[in-house]
Amino acid sequence: MRLTEHQQKVIRKATKDVFGSSATVRLFGSRVDDSLRGGDIDLLVECLEPIEDAGQMSAKLVAQIQTRLGDQKIDVICTWPGSKRLSVHRSAIETGIVL
């Protein structure tokens, strides 16, 4: 996985600040692969309860991470029990690493 300890800590804390303490976050996509370089930070937020406004919450999370880690491309998708799962969600759950 290509995220420093500090980056992981910032992402974990921001996720809990925005989505609540029971939310967990998983890194997926190219940053999971140690043989690559650079790339977006793709995150899957997993919540126990349905999220009323996932778009606005995801935008808030991206903003919080960017203010702490600098301006970089971060993509956030969310899932909760019963939420609509696209192939990107399934693949993130299968291949992602919980931070």
Partner 1 sequence: MTTQLEQARVRFLATLEIVRRELNVLKYSHEKLFSFSVDRAWVESLDNNMKAAETLEAFVSRFGRLQDTIGDKLIPRALTALAEHPGSMLDNLNKAERLHWLEDVNAWLSARELRNKLVHEYMTDENQFAKDINSSAQFYTMFHQVYLELLKVAEKNFGVTENELREYL
The total number of residues written for the chain in this structure: 99
Does 64 participate in binding partner 1 (rule CB under 8 A)? yes
> Cβ of residue 70: shortest distance to partner 1, in angstroms?
6
Distance CA 33, CA 55 (A): 27
Instruction: Report the residue from 4, 22, 56, 91 that binds partner 1 according to the rule CB under 8 A.
Output: 56
The owner of tokens 């406004």 is 53
Question: Do 68 and 17 meet the contact criterion of CB atoms below 8 Å apart?
Answer: no
Distance of alpha carbon 12 from its chain centroid, rounded? 9
> Cβ of residue 29: shortest distance to partner 1, in angstroms?
16
> Cβ of residue 63: shortest distance to partner 1, in angstroms?
3
Does 34 participate in binding partner 1 (rule CB under 8 A)? no
